[in-house]
Amino acid sequence: MCDDGGSIIIRLLTENTVDWDNIIHIYKTKKYNSKSTQAVDWRKRTPLHLACIKSAPLEAIKAIIKLCKDLLLQQDYDGLLPIHHLCTETSPVQNFRFVLNKCPEEVLLHQDRKGYTPLHHCCISGKDVVYFEELIEMSGQESILIKDYQRRNVMHLAIIHGLGIQHLQLLADTCPRSLNMEDARGYFPLHYACCYPSISPHLLQFLVQRNQRVCRIKTNNGSNCLQLLYTAYREDLESDERFQDDFELATVNERQAFSEEILECWQKVVILIAGNSLKSMPCDSFTAPVHPTSSILLDMIQLDLCPYIFVRLALLLNTEIVREQDKHGNLPLHFAIGKPVSRRCEANYSKIIDLLVDTYPDACRIKNYADKYPLHLAIEREKKWNLGIKKVLEVFPTAIHSLDLDVRLFPFLLAKLDKHNMFKILSTSNSLMPK
């Protein structure tokens, strides 16, 4: 409970239209005793809290602090100090600077009930860079690393709330470690950048350049950056009929442009693929090619957890890349069918093999420079029936007759493959059955 003077001050400050001249007069003339001027409302907000929330004139802020400087240290019900409110509300920057210079350093590092410091609140409310510069100068670079109660630092929140490249450059240059910290869910700042379509390709490229290794790190639920990007653009991708399973890639109308959202997604895919392959990142003026190259496709296939739909997007943008051979004479199908695959990625891998065969069936009939058909590579790598053997065998079954002698003979073939795969092959090619 507060006395009559305190009640009057709180009532004046909570009116829709505050008479700031009257408030300034009350504090300058010390009309009420000091206890009254430190009254609080039902949310334990002091007159200084309310003045910061109401964007009071600087003279009012000065008058209140001059009479009751201790109000700078007083928390409201949510654990917020007056400086927190100045970082949250649309108060004039001169109010912020004045209060900032009056606050001791420990106040600038104070966390509210959610674990937010003034810097966290600046991220949430999207404050100008000047707020960040002055707060960091006063509180030190370590203030960027302070985590909220979900273990997110200032860099995490800056990305989540869509701050621009200037903000991120300031945070990254001041404290590079902020890019290399994970939150309670195992998310690094780069993971959050992949979750939001509002993050520009230029900003994503900046984050990958600064901490490229995160491209290969999975979150606690096993998702990598490419999978998070797919989730972010899933609705845009699946709304286009060209991404439906029954759509024939051979009938692609190249004159029909993709939406801006899908093309932006493709730019981000190229950036993340380069990051995953640990290649040196391109310069700041980099623009992802609209027409994918065969090297990009091979890098995508090489990654176990590259979503199938991104490989499909690459082929929709440039169907000719499935016909390009590398220096060993390998087509993308040879490369894909010969690579090892983990059990967790088998479903995604199977769809990629089917896609490559459906897009260019003649690839099953082409040997690489080592005189190997795709079917040969599938059997030599001991692939399962549904992970390459079935699809290429359907298109070009006679390839099995040109297997190397140590593989083609029945006893060796039986030793190479499990019984299930062996039965499938023999039922297709009876001539292999020993007499």
- Tens digit of each residue's pLDDT (9 = 90 or more) over 72-83: 999 999 999 999
For all residues of the chain together, what is the average pLDDT? 86
Of the listed ranges 114-128, 175-189, 390-404, 416-430, the one predicted with least confidence:
416-430
For residue 91, the model assigns a pLDDT of 84
**What are the φ/ψ torsions at residue 220 (nearest 5 degrees)?**
-60, -25
More reliable by pLDDT, 403 or 236: 236
Under 8 Å between Cβ of 224 and 263: no
| pTM of the model as a whole | 0.85
More reliable by pLDDT, 115 or 290: 115
Confidence of residue 418 (pLDDT cuts 50, 70, 90): low
For residue 93, the model assigns a pLDDT of 94
Confidence of residue 432 (pLDDT cuts 50, 70, 90): very low
For residue 408, the model assigns a pLDDT of 47
Render pLDDT for 189-211 as a digit per residue (tens, 0 to 9): 999 999 999 999 999 999 999 99
For residue 5, the model assigns a pLDDT of 57
Under 8 Å between Cβ of 67 and 34: yes
For residue 399, the model assigns a pLDDT of 81
Hey, do 1-103 and 325-435 end up sharing a CATH topology, with the first three levels equal?
A: yes
Amino acid identity, position 209:
Q
For residue 2, the model assigns a pLDDT of 47
For residue 319, the model assigns a pLDDT of 87
Q: Where are the domains of the chain?
A: 1-103, 325-435
The count of other CB atoms within 10 Å of the CB of residue 176 is: 14
Highest mean pLDDT: which of 42-46, 255-259, 409-413?
A: 42-46
Confidence of residue 37 (pLDDT cuts 50, 70, 90): low
CA–CA separation, 171 vs 131, rounded Å?
A: 12
Under 8 Å between Cβ of 75 and 111: no
Under 8 Å between Cβ of 203 and 193: yes
Residues 145-149 have a mean pLDDT of 97
Under 8 Å between Cβ of 267 and 229: no
Residues 122-138 have a mean pLDDT of 96
Confidence of residue 40 (pLDDT cuts 50, 70, 90): confident
Confidence of residue 244 (pLDDT cuts 50, 70, 90): confident
CA-closest candidate to residue 356, choices 344, 370, 342, 366: 366
Under 8 Å between Cβ of 332 and 356: yes
Token pair 């370590």 is at which residue? 142
Under 8 Å between Cβ of 314 and 355: no
Distance of CA 18 to the CA centre of its chain: 44
Q: Taking the alpha carbons of 354, 358, 360, 366 in that order, is the dihedral positive or negative?
A: positive
Of the listed ranges 93-102, 133-142, 277-286, 338-347, the one predicted with least confidence:
277-286
| pLDDT > 90 in the chain, percent | 60
Options 3.40.50.2300, 3.40.190.10, 1.25.40.20, 3.20.20.70; CATH for 1-103 is 1.25.40.20
More reliable by pLDDT, 153 or 11: 153
Render pLDDT for 279-332 as a digit per residue (tens, 0 to 9): 665 555 555 556 688 889 999 998 888 999 999 999 998 889 999 999 999 999
Q: What does each C-alpha distance from 89 to 52, 121, 357, 432 come to in angstroms?
A: 8, 9, 58, 79
Residues 391-395 have a mean pLDDT of 88
The domain 325-435: what is its CATH number?
1.25.40
Confidence of residue 409 (pLDDT cuts 50, 70, 90): very low
CA–CA separation, 434 vs 267, rounded Å?
A: 54
For residue 246, the model assigns a pLDDT of 66
The 3-state secondary structure of the chain, one letter per residue: CCCHHHHHHHHHHCCCCCCHHHHHHHHHCCCCCCCHHHCCCCCCCCHHHHHHHCCCCHHHHHHHHHHCHHHHHCCCCCCCCHHHHHCCCCCCHHHHHHHHHHCCHHHHCCCCCCCCCHHHHHHHHCCCHHHHHHHHHHHCHHHHHCCCCCCCCHHHHHHHCCCCHHHHHHHHHHCHHHHHCCCCCCCCHHHHHHHCCCCCHHHHHHHHHHCHHHHHCCCCCCCCHHHHHHHHHHHHHHCCHHHCCCCCHHHCCCCCCCCHHHHHHHHHHHHHHHHHCCCCCCCCCCCCCCCCCHHHHHHHHHCCCCCHHHHHHHHHHCHHHHHCCCCCCCCHHHHHHHCCCCHHHHHHHHHHHHHHHHHCHHHHHCCCCCCCCHHHHHHHCCCCHHHHHHHHHHHCHHHHHHCCHHHHCHHHHHHHCCHHHHHHHHHHCHHHCCC
